[in-house]
Amino acid sequence: MAQLATRIEAQTEKTSSADKFYVVGGGAIRDGSVTCWKYDLGTPLTSKVKIQGLDDERKTMTFAVLEGDILKLYSSFKATLHAVKAGNGGCMVKWTMVFEKANVNAPDPGLYMDLATKLSKGVDAY
């Protein structure tokens, strides 16, 4: 059977500096930490997510989905956030999602990318 793995990317400009955007509250976000997320994409959903590849110098973090509703559509799913300094004092936030569809009928995760960019907007406002 052919591989169904692929990736999508999106980026958005924010007014916060890359340092401020990346750190926000700090605290419990550490490489290897596992968190449970509740979110809504028209219906309540949950996921258990592990932080991987946390790189404070490059301002990147990768979230790997371990369990949850998203794995009904995708055999594997990882999302990476990268905050890059922009010339206006703000930053560019780039999201990359790498996923393997559970079957050929599974949609691309556009709704998840929309959620990630909306979350970025909320973090920027905070």
Provide the number of structural domains found in the chain. Answer: 1
Count CB-CB contacts under 10 A for residue 77. 22
| pLDDT in the model for residue 1 | 45
| pLDDT in the model for residue 20 | 87
* Beta pairing, strands 34-40 & 74-85: unpaired
Across the chain, which has 126 residues, the per-10-residue mean pLDDT values are 75 91 70 91 95 90 96 96 91 96 91 92 85
* Beta pairing, strands 60-68 & 74-85: antiparallel
User: For the chain, what is the radius of gyration of the CA atoms?
Assistant: 15
* pTM listed for this prediction: 0.88
| pLDDT in the model for residue 79 | 96
Whether the Cβ atoms of residue 79 and residue 93 lie closer than 8 Å to each other: no
Place of tokens 């990882």: 78
| pLDDT in the model for residue 109 | 93
| pLDDT in the model for residue 3 | 56
Residue in 67, 73, 69, 76 with CA at minimum distance from that of residue 45: 69
| pLDDT in the model for residue 54 | 87
Domain that holds residue 111: 5-125
Read off the CATH number of the domain in which 42 is found.
Answer: 3.30.530.20
